[in-house]
Structure 1
Amino acid sequence: MNFVWLVNRLRSMSPAEIAWRVQEQALRKAAKGRLDRWDRYDPTGSEAPRMPGLLASLESAAPQLRLAVQLAAERILSGQFSALGVTWPEFNWQNGFPETIWTLDPVTGKHWPGADAFSFDIGYRHAKDYGDIKYAWEYHRLQFLQPVAAHYALSRNKDALVFIEAAIESWFAHNPPYRGIGWNSGIELGLRAISLLFVSSCCGSDLSLETRKRIRLILVSHLAWMRRFPSGYSSANNHLIAECAGEFLIALCMPELPDASAVLAKSGHILEREADKQILSDGVGAEQSPTYGAFTAEFLLLCACMARNAGRPLAASVDQALLRYARFVSWVTLRDATTPQICDDDEGRVITLAEAEHCYPASVSAAIWGYLGLDAEGAVPAHPTLRDSVFSSCTETASMPQGVRVFEAGGYSVFRGKITNKDALVVFDHGPLGYLSIAAHGHADALAWLLYVNDRPLLVDPGTYLYHSGGVWRDWFRGTAAHNTLRLGGRDQSIISGAFNWSHKANARLIEQADGEHPAFLACHDGYLKEFGLLHERSICVLGSSIRVLDRLVGDRKPPLVEMSYQLAPAAIARIEDNSVFVSLEDEPVLRIAFPDNGRLAVIVGAGPDQGGWVSNRFGTKEPAPRIVWTTDNFPAEAVTEFHIP
C-alpha cells in the first residue's frame, strides 16, 4: 500500500470512520480461507430469478429498438467487445471463454492476478504497471450479456443462449468468491448482479439447470459480500447506491431467500434516504457531474420501477428526486441530446447495449419521463438504448428551456437564449467541490464557465481521461489550470492529495443574480484565502452580442502571478492578435475574446501535463485542443474579459 496515499486518506476520515475501517479490515482478513469457496453459499432453489415486468416491457419494444438490440448482440456474438474507448482482443467463444479474458488489461496487454490471489490483497490503486483497473472491471460487469439476452428474448436465437451460458460458466469457474479482481469493489458486484438478473429475466427456464444454479450462487454470494462490506462514511457515494440497488433487486427477485424481507426493507430504506442526499433539492447530482448524476439516477430508477411492478413501490420521495434530476438535465442538454461534461465521467451505465453512448444523462432523463408517465422537457436522444424498453422512455423532444435558471444547491447558474441572434448556452459553476469529505469525482473548477453557441462547443471542460493509472495526467485534468477560471501562484484552488481525494477544498457561493435584459451572476470562492489572503470574485453578464466576465481578487495583499485559462473544444482554431484571441470553427469566425491589456497571451495545444491543451471526450482518450492562457504579475483591481459572438 502507498504510504502517502494512506496518510492523505486517513486525514479525510473522522475518528468514527477510522474505527469502522479497522473493523472492515478485520472482516476482510477473516474472509480469507473461510468464505472464498462456492460451497460456503446456499443457492436455495433452482428457478431463474426474474425482474418483474422486464420481459413484458422488452417484448413490447418498437422496431427501431429491436433492430438496435439485434445489431448490438450480433456484434458481441461475433467476438467483438469495446468499452471505454478500447477494443478487447477477439476470440472464438464457441471454443469456450479463455480464463485470461477475466484478468486482461486491454490497454497494456498485461494480466491482473486471478483466482490464485485473495481479492483484498491486490493493491489495484497503486499497481500502475498493470494498467487502470477500470478496464478489467468493465468486462467483469458482464454488461455485454444484456443485449445478447434481450436478443434471445426477442428472437430465440440459439447462439445467443449458448453464448450466455458459456460466459457465465467461465466467470463462475475462474472467479470464485473473494478471489481475483472481480471481488474488489462493491459497485462492481452490484452491477454484475444486475446484469445476471437481466439475463435471468430474459432467458428464464430456457437456461440450463446448471446455469440457473450458477446464477443463483453468484447472486447469493454477492448479496452476502455487499451486506458484509457496505460503503460507508466518506465512501458512501454512488458506490453505496450501487450496492443497495444490487441487494434490493436480488431480494426482490429471490423472495425465497431466508433474509429476503429484511434485506428488501433495509436496502429500500437506504435507497430512499440516499435519493434525497445524492440528488440535491434542485436536481443536481451531489457528485457535481451530470453523468454521475445519471448513473445514480439510473440505479434508483431501476429499483423504483421494479418495486412498482412488484406491487411494493418505494417511497414517493424517490420519484420526486428522479423528477428533479430530469428537470436539471433539461436545462443543460443541447438539441442533439448531448450534455456538457463537468467533473468526472467514467462512462458507467446500468442497463446498456454495451456500446458507446454519447447522450447518457438525456437518455436517463427520457427514461424518467417515461417511467413517471410525463411528457419530456427538453431534448431526448434519437438513438434507442436498451433502457428505453425497460422504462418506456419518452421519445418526443420538447421545446428547449429558455431564460435563466439558478441551481443554488448544486451550484450552477444557466443561461439559455440569444446572443447576436444565435442560440447560446452558458453554464457557470459556483458549487461545492464534490460530495462527502473526499469529493472523489470533483474537479478544482470553482467559477469556471462553459459556452456553447448554436449547440457547438466553444469553451469546455477538459474531461476525465484516466483514474488509477492517470498519475500526473489525472492531476492535470482535475486541476484548476485545465478549467476556465483563475489560478494564482501556480496553485490549485483545491489541493489534490490522491486520485480521488483532496487535502484542501475551495468553498464557492453565489452572491447575487440578476434577470432582465442583461442576465448577470456574481459568485466567489475562498480557495486562495488561506495561502494568499485573497478571495476570487467573478461576475458574468450576458449582453446583446457578447458576454462580459469581470474578475476581482479581494483582499489586502498583492496578488502573485495570476493565470487565466480558457479551454477550447478540439475542433476550434485560435489565433492571437494584440490582446485578443480570435476563435474559428471550420474557417468560420465564432468568437473573439478581448483580454485585459496588461498581461501575456499564449495558446497551448497538446503540451505536457504541466501545460495541457487537451480534451478528453471519452474515458482513456485525449485529443489536442487549444488552451488559451493569459498571465500577469500585475493583476488589476478589476480584470474585464469580453467574449464577442459575431
Structure 2
Amino acid sequence: MSLAWYVNRLRAMSPAEILHRVGERAKKSSARGKIEGWERYQTTGAPPRLAGLLENLKNAPDAVKSEIAAASSFILSGQFVALGVVWPERSGERLFSADVWRLDPVTGGSWPGSEKYCFDIPYRHERTLGDIKYVWEFNRLQFLQPLAADAALTGNRRAVEAIEAAVESWYAANPPFRGLGWNSGIELGLRAISLLIVTTLCGELLSPETVNRIRAILHAHMVWMARYPSRFSSANNHLVAEVAGEFLIALAMPELPLAAKLDAKGRKVLAVEAEKQILMDGVGAEQSPTYGAFTAEFILLCSFVARASGKPLAGQIDTRLKAFAGHIAWLSNCDGRVPGICDDDEGRVLTLSRHEPAYAASVCAAIAGYLGEPAIGPRPPELDLRDALLRSPLTGATAPKGLKTFADGGYTVVRETKHGRALDIVFDHAPLGYLSIAAHGHADALSVVVAVDGEPLLVDPGTYLYHSGGAWRDWFRGTRAHNTLNIDGADQSTMSGAFNWSHKAMTKLDTVSGADSWSVSASHDGYQKRFGTIHRRTLTSTADGFAILDQLDGTPNRTAEIVFQLSPQFDAKVDGGAVLIERNGAVIATLSWKEAGAIDITAGGNIGEGGWYSPSFGVKVEAKRISWRGKVTAEGVTCNFALTQA
C-alpha cells in the first residue's frame, strides 16, 4: 500500500473519522477466523421476496419482455460485456467455473480467492493483476437479473439452470470474508440486490438447495454491511448502496436477527441521505449526473418496495427524487442522453446487464412510474429491466427550453434555437464534489459543454479508468482536459490520489440574467494561492451563439491556455485566425477570439499532447482538442462561438 496514499487520505479526515478508522481496522483484524464460513449464516425458508416487482414484471409491455428475452439469450450464450471490455466467451455448458470469479478480463490474471482474508487484498495500488473494478463487476451477479426475469415470464429452464449453476459456483468459491468479493461494501449491496431480484422473480422455480444458498449469502452480506458501514468521507453513494442492501434484505427476510434494527436504520438513513445526496434543486451532490442517477435508483427501489410492503418511506424522499428528475430533464437531449460530467463508471441497480447510453433519463422515467405521474423530460428509446419492474412510462416529455440555474448544485443550463439550430449549453459553476475527498469530482470549474442539434460538440473528456488508470486517471479529471482556462498547465484543484483532492477550488455564481439576452457570470479561487488570481468567466448570448469572456482578477497580462475538447464526431481546422468546426465536411460552428493568441488543434498522442475522449468506462478515443494560448489582459479574453445557418 502506498505511504503517500495513506498520508493524503489522513489529511482529508477529521479527528472523529481517524478514530473511527482505527476502530474499524481493529474490528477487521479481530474478525479474522471468527465470523467466516457458511455454517453460521445458514437459514432455511421460502425464497426471499420484494413486494410489488413480480406483479409489475408480468404486466410489462411486450416490447420490454422482448428485450428481457434477448438479454437472457445473450448471457446464456456465454457472453459478457461491461466497462468497455468483452470477457472471454464461455461454453454454455460451463458458464461459471470456479476461476471466473477471480478473472481480470483485460490482463488475463487471477485475483486472490478464498485463500486470502478479504481485508488482506491490497487492491487500490495493484497494477500487475489489473483493475479490480472489472472483477467486481462480474461478481455483482447483475447478469442474473435478466435470466430471472426471463425465467419468470417464460419458464425458461436454461435460465433457471444457469442461475443455479452461478449461485452454486459463487457460493463455493467465495465463503464469507474470504477473497475479493468481500472487501467493498458497495459490491455487497449490489450483489445482495441482484440475488433478491432473482428470488423475487423466479424463486419458486429454484431448487431448495439454491434458495438456501442464496439465503445464506444474503444473511452474511447483511452482517458484513452492518459491521463495516461507510462513514464520514466515504459516506457517498457507497453508503446508500450498503443501506439499500441491508434494508431490502430486512424487508425480504424479517426473521433474521438484525432485520428489525436494519429496517429502522434504513428508513432513517435513506431519508437523511436523499436530502444530502440529492440537493434541493435536484442536482446530485457528487456532481456527476450518472452517479446521481445511481444514488437515486437505490433510493427509488427501496421506496417502491417499502410502499408495496405497506409501510412507505418518509415523504421528503419522493420530493427529492422528483427534483432529480427535473434536473435531468434540463440536461437531456430528445433521446435522454445527458452530457458526461465528472466520473461515470456505469454503475446500475436494476439492469439487463448491458450498456445503457441514457441511464440517468431511464432512472427518471422509472421515478415517474413510481410516482404515478407523466415523465418530466425525454426518455431513452432503449428499454431496460427497471422499466418493467417499476412501470416506467414508455413515452417521455419534450425537453424544457430557456435558461435554468441550479444554484444549489452549481449549473446553469441554456436551451435555445439560433440560426435554425438547437443550441444546448451547460455552464459548470459547481463545487468540486461531495464530502472532504470529492471522490468523483473533476477539476472542471467554469467549464462549458455544448450540444448542437442534439449532438455533443464541446464535451467533458469522460472517465476512462479508475485504479489502473495512473497518469491517464489524472489527465481525464484534470483541468487541461476540460473546456475551461488553465494557468501554466496547473489544475484548479490539487489531486492527492485517484479519488482524493488536497486543495479544492471554491466556485461562486456571481450574476445571472435570463430572457433572450441572457448572461451568466461565475468565478473560482483555485489559482489564487499559487498565482494570485481569481478566474472569472462570463457567458453572454449573441445573435448567432454565445460569447465567453475570461478574466484573471489580480494578475493582468498573465499567459493562460483556454481549451475546448471536441466530440470525436466533429473535426476542426484553423482558417484566417478562426476555428471552423465541421461535421461530415459541413461547417457547423466557428470559434474566434478578439485577442491575439496561438491556436493549436491536436488529437491523441501522449498525455497532454492532444485531445482524448472516453465515451464509456475503459474506452478512450482520439478527438480534436482546441487550445488558445496567449496573454489575458485586464479586460480579459473573449471567444465567440457562432453557429452557421442550418
TM-score (norm 2): 0.98
Q: Find the aligned partners of 1:628 and 1:176 in 2 and give their Cα distance.
A: 52
1:327-346 superposed matches below 5 A: 327-346=326-345
Partner residue, 2:18: 18
Residue type matched to 2:17 in 1? E
Q: Is the CA contact (8 Å cut-off) linking 1:414 and 1:425 kept in structure 2?
A: yes
Q: Find the aligned partners of 1:616 and 1:633 in 2 and give their Cα distance.
A: 31
Partner residue, 2:577: 579
Q: Is the CA contact (8 Å cut-off) linking 1:481 and 1:492 kept in structure 2?
A: yes
Partner residue, 2:487: 488
Secondary structure of 1:287 counterpart: coil
Query: Alpha-carbon deviations, 1:343-392, whole Å to 9, x = none?
Result: 00000000000011101000000000111011112211112110001111
Q: Is the CA contact (8 Å cut-off) linking 2:599 and 2:627 kept in structure 1?
A: yes
Partner residue, 2:384: 385
Structure 1 residue 487: Cα displacement = 0.5
Q: Find the aligned partners of 1:378 and 1:216 in 2 and give their Cα distance.
A: 39
Q: Find the aligned partners of 1:279 and 1:370 in 2 and give their Cα distance.
A: 19
C-alpha distance 96-613 of structure 1, shift in aligned 2 (>3 A): closer
Query: Alpha-carbon deviations, 1:104-157, whole Å to 9, x = none?
Result: 110111111111111111110000111111100000000000000000000001
Q: Considering only aligned residues, what root-mean-square deviation do their CA atoms show, in Å?
A: 1.1
1:116-135 superposed matches below 5 A: 116-135=115-134
Structure 1 residue 544: Cα displacement = 1.8
Residue type matched to 2:366 in 1? A
Structure 1 residue 599: Cα displacement = 1.3
C-alpha distance 95-456 of structure 1, shift in aligned 2 (>3 A): closer
Q: Among 609, 617, 627, which residue is 1:629 paired with?
A: 627
Q: Is the CA contact (8 Å cut-off) linking 1:532 and 1:559 kept in structure 2?
A: no
Q: Is the CA contact (8 Å cut-off) linking 1:419 and 1:543 kept in structure 2?
A: no
Secondary structure of 2:50 counterpart: coil
Residue type matched to 1:46 in 2? G
Secondary structure of 2:497 counterpart: coil
Give 4+ residue runs of structure 1 displaced > 6 Å after superposition. none
Q: Find the aligned partners of 2:344 and 2:610 in 1 and give their Cα distance.
A: 19
Residue type matched to 2:597 in 1? G
Query: Alpha-carbon deviations, 1:295-316, whole Å to 9, x = none?
Result: 0000000000000000000000
Structure 1 residue 450: Cα displacement = 0.8
Partner residue, 1:279: 278
Q: Find the aligned partners of 1:488 and 1:197 in 2 and give their Cα distance.
A: 51
Partner residue, 2:609: 611
Structure 1 residue 597: Cα displacement = 3.3
Residue type matched to 2:167 in 1? I
Partner residue, 2:41: 41
C-alpha distance 414-65 of structure 1, shift in aligned 2 (>3 A): same
Partner residue, 1:519: 518
Structure 1 residue 190: Cα displacement = 0.2
Partner residue, 1:460: 459
Structure 1 residue 92: Cα displacement = 2.1
Q: Among 585, 588, 591, which residue is 2:589 paired with?
A: 591
Partner residue, 1:9: 9
Query: Alpha-carbon deviations, 1:139-192, whole Å to 9, x = none?
Result: 000000000000000000111111000000000000011111111100000000
C-alpha distance 179-635 of structure 1, shift in aligned 2 (>3 A): farther
1:397 aligns with 2:396: yes
Q: Find the aligned partners of 1:464 and 1:266 in 2 and give their Cα distance.
A: 34
Report sequence identity in percent.
51
Query: Alpha-carbon deviations, 1:31-88, whole Å to 9, x = none?
Result: 2111121123242x22100111111110001110110000000010111111111111
Structure 1 residue 578: Cα displacement = 3.5
Structure 1 residue 577: Cα displacement = 2.2
Secondary structure of 1:536 counterpart: strand
Q: Is the CA contact (8 Å cut-off) linking 1:482 and 1:612 kept in structure 2?
A: no
Q: Find the aligned partners of 2:203 and 2:144 in 1 and give their Cα distance.
A: 14
Partner residue, 1:473: 472
Q: Is the CA contact (8 Å cut-off) linking 1:352 and 1:387 kept in structure 2?
A: yes
Q: Find the aligned partners of 2:232 and 2:594 in 1 and give their Cα distance.
A: 46
Partner residue, 2:195: 196
Residue type matched to 2:139 in 1? H
Structure 1 residue 576: Cα displacement = 1.0
Q: Among 634, 641, 644, which residue is 1:643 paired with?
A: 641
1:360-375 superposed matches below 5 A: 360-375=359-374
Residue type matched to 1:543 in 2? T
Q: Find the aligned partners of 1:249 and 1:569 in 2 and give their Cα distance.
A: 41
Q: Is the CA contact (8 Å cut-off) linking 2:78 and 2:95 kept in structure 1?
A: no
Q: Find the aligned partners of 1:326 and 1:634 in 2 and give their Cα distance.
A: 40
Secondary structure of 1:570 counterpart: coil
C-alpha distance 132-310 of structure 1, shift in aligned 2 (>3 A): same
Q: Find the aligned partners of 1:546 and 1:638 in 2 and give their Cα distance.
A: 19
1:98-177 superposed matches below 5 A: 98-177=97-176
Residue type matched to 2:230 in 1? S
1:436 aligns with 2:445: no
Q: Find the aligned partners of 1:281 and 1:400 in 2 and give their Cα distance.
A: 20
Q: Find the aligned partners of 1:116 and 1:288 in 2 and give their Cα distance.
A: 39
Q: Find the aligned partners of 1:546 and 1:243 in 2 and give their Cα distance.
A: 46
Q: Find the aligned partners of 2:258 and 2:28 in 1 and give their Cα distance.
A: 22
Query: Alpha-carbon deviations, 1:379-422, whole Å to 9, x = none?
Result: 11112110001111021121220111000000000001112221
1:197-346 superposed matches below 5 A: 197-346=196-345
Q: Find the aligned partners of 1:274 and 1:242 in 2 and give their Cα distance.
A: 11
Q: Find the aligned partners of 2:482 and 2:563 in 1 and give their Cα distance.
A: 6
Q: Find the aligned partners of 2:632 and 2:361 in 1 and give their Cα distance.
A: 44
Q: Find the aligned partners of 2:401 and 2:478 in 1 and give their Cα distance.
A: 32
Secondary structure of 1:124 counterpart: coil
Note the residue ranges of structure 2 that are not aligned, 5 or more in a row. none
Q: Is the CA contact (8 Å cut-off) linking 1:579 and 1:596 kept in structure 2?
A: no
Structure 1 residue 635: Cα displacement = 4.3
Partner residue, 2:183: 184
Q: Find the aligned partners of 2:57 and 2:369 in 1 and give their Cα distance.
A: 14
Q: Is the CA contact (8 Å cut-off) linking 1:244 and 1:267 kept in structure 2?
A: yes
Q: Find the aligned partners of 1:356 and 1:530 in 2 and give their Cα distance.
A: 42
Q: Find the aligned partners of 2:145 and 2:557 in 1 and give their Cα distance.
A: 56
TM-score (norm 1): 0.98
Q: Find the aligned partners of 1:370 and 1:96 in 2 and give their Cα distance.
A: 35
Q: Find the aligned partners of 2:6 and 2:607 in 1 and give their Cα distance.
A: 24
Q: Find the aligned partners of 2:516 and 2:148 in 1 and give their Cα distance.
A: 54
Structure 1 residue 633: Cα displacement = 4.4
Q: Find the aligned partners of 1:112 and 1:93 in 2 and give their Cα distance.
A: 24
Secondary structure of 2:517 counterpart: coil
Q: Find the aligned partners of 1:574 and 1:95 in 2 and give their Cα distance.
A: 50
Residue type matched to 1:292 in 2? Y
Q: Find the aligned partners of 1:22 and 1:560 in 2 and give their Cα distance.
A: 47
- Aligned pair count? 644
Secondary structure of 2:16 counterpart: helix
Q: Find the aligned partners of 1:636 and 1:98 in 2 and give their Cα distance.
A: 66
Q: Find the aligned partners of 1:347 and 1:302 in 2 and give their Cα distance.
A: 18
Q: Is the CA contact (8 Å cut-off) linking 1:271 and 1:300 kept in structure 2?
A: yes
Q: Find the aligned partners of 2:557 and 2:431 in 1 and give their Cα distance.
A: 24
Q: Is the CA contact (8 Å cut-off) linking 2:595 and 2:638 kept in structure 1?
A: no
Query: Alpha-carbon deviations, 1:320-360, whole Å to 9, x = none?
Result: 11000000000000012111100000000000000111010
Residue type matched to 1:199 in 2? V
Secondary structure of 1:256 counterpart: coil
Q: Is the CA contact (8 Å cut-off) linking 2:365 and 2:396 kept in structure 1?
A: no
Q: Is the CA contact (8 Å cut-off) linking 1:118 and 1:179 kept in structure 2?
A: yes
Query: Alpha-carbon deviations, 1:419-469, whole Å to 9, x = none?
Result: 222111100000100000000000000000111111011111000000000
Which stretch of the first structure deviates more once superposed, 46-55 or 347-356? 46-55
Secondary structure of 2:124 counterpart: helix
